[in-house]
Amino acid sequence: MRACPSRGTKRLAINVVLLAAGFAALGKAQTPRVLIVRVTDTAAAAMASVDLAVMRGVNTVVARGTTDAAGRHAFTLSDEAGGLEVVARKIGFQRGDRFFTLTRDTTVISIVLRRTVQALDAVRVSAEQDLRRKSYFLDADAIANSDRPLFDGMDVFTKLRPDMLYSRSAGAFEHCEIEEVWVNGRRLPISPYDSLDPMIESRRKTLHKPPKSKPVSLAVLKTLSLVKPEHIAEINYRDCMDKSIGKMGDRNAAFITLKPGVAFDLSRGTYVVGQKPPVASFRNRLLGLYDDANGEPLDSAVVLNMANGDRVQTTSTGTVSLAFLPEGKSMIKISKAGYRDFSFEISISPTDTIPLTILLTRIK
């Protein structure tokens, strides 16, 4: 029994083909799932003829539909489409949003639409207030309607509302650049990213900085980059002259409100509640197990993590993903009835991704 290095032999050619088949076998088949959406108003009355759109990202439409007389519509979607958003629109009502994951054969979600508030003729918005709103406010529709590529929250600020980074008061007052980020009413601790992310630093160099302002900290920009554009319901900004809230960290601050069904933490950024964290591609390093004598794939062999007892079994193609192993080095043991056990150390890291071919020897 031995690990087979890369060489141009007939057996290796067979194993490479089998490994490729293993990659295909490991791909998860798409299974149709049903999403039922029910829309009501604030009085719990069913709303018919509501336009529904299932969205991926900021503006990619996966499916469309309209509610029936019972305020319902059923979509058939793929289970690969988890972490999507339903947007509900009806004239005279505010837009409704709901993120979801397809964790069951049938998922039912409810959306409540609220009537649009009609301003009275007697109410007048001053030119200054209107200008501040255009500079310091942003909602989901403005993000969705943008024709500029928006990859993260930093893009939203730099491309759509640059005044939220340095404020309209910058240049007249010192240190009026953004310093605080709030998400769903919680002030975020700003981690010391300044020396850790050269990509953020490179993007910061493209920003226009007013004369008396300091550069926006890399820590703040990194925090903004953790927010996905499609997860934002609205953003309000309070500059260095705004004393309306009266809390610590309430000035030079962006207040981000997320859509229903979305949460945030500093390790994951924004994410759909119930959605599993994505697995880095390098974690899926592939192992192929074959008979030493004839090159046949060995299924149902046990691959054991000797540190904690976690184990998986090879498929009918003799392959298995090593995603169950932690990042770093692990000692694993391979066992199959009728063959000699084989133990060795393996590394899981961004630089250790090459599929492994292991040949087991039969017990004579």
134-148 per-position pLDDT tens digit = 889 999 999 999 999
pLDDT at 116: 83
CB atoms within 10 A of CB 57: 16
For the domain spanning 32-113, the CATH number is 2.60.40.1120
> How many DSSP H helices and E strands does the chain contain?
7, 22
Does position 14 have pLDDT exceeding 70, yes or no?
no
Are 160 and 227 in contact, with CB atoms under 8 Å apart? no
Helix (H, G, I), strand (E, B) or coil at 53: strand
Report d(CA 271, CA 264) in Å as an integer: 6
CA quadruple 169, 172, 178, 179: dihedral sign: negative
pLDDT at 122: 54
Q: pLDDT digit string (tens) for 156-185? A: 999 999 999 988 765 555 568 899 999 999
pLDDT at 13: 44
Q: Which of 37-41, 174-178, 247-251 has the lowest mean pLDDT?
A: 174-178
Considering the chain, what is the average pLDDT of its residues? Answer: 82
CA distances from 37 to 86, 98, 262, 287 (A): 8, 10, 17, 42
pLDDT at 20: 46
Of 293 and 131, the one with more pLDDT = 293
Residues of the chain with CATH 2.60.40.1120: 2-28+280-360, 32-113
Does position 279 have pLDDT exceeding 70, yes or no?
no
In the structure, what pLDDT confidence band is assigned to residue 49 with cuts at 50, 70 and 90? very high
Q: pLDDT digit string (tens) for 301-352? A: 999 999 888 889 998 888 988 888 888 889 999 999 999 999 999 888 888 8
pLDDT at 124: 59
| Bridging pattern class, strands 311-313 and 106-113 | unpaired
Q: What is the mean pLDDT of residues 271-288?
A: 78
Q: Which helix (H) or strand (E) holds 272?
A: strand 269-272
Of 33 and 10, the one with more pLDDT = 33
Of 122 and 39, the one with more pLDDT = 39
Secondary structure E strands in 28-178: 32-41, 51-56, 60-66, 72-78, 84-89, 96-100, 106-113, 137-139
CB atoms within 10 A of CB 281: 10
Are 190 and 269 in contact, with CB atoms under 8 Å apart? no
Q: What is the mean pLDDT of residues 264-280?
A: 80
Here the tokens at position 22 are 């293993």
Are 287 and 320 in contact, with CB atoms under 8 Å apart? yes
Q: pLDDT digit string (tens) for 58-95? A: 888 999 999 999 999 999 987 655 578 999 999 999 99
Q: Exposed, middle or buried, 154 (CB in 10 Å: 0-12/13-18/19+)?
A: buried
Share of the chain above pLDDT 90, in %: 41
Amino acid of residue 299:
D
Among 3.40.50.150, 3.40.50.720, 2.60.40.1120, 3.20.20.70, what is the CATH number of 2-28+280-360? 2.60.40.1120
In the structure, what pLDDT confidence band is assigned to residue 120 with cuts at 50, 70 and 90? low
Helix (H, G, I), strand (E, B) or coil at 206: coil
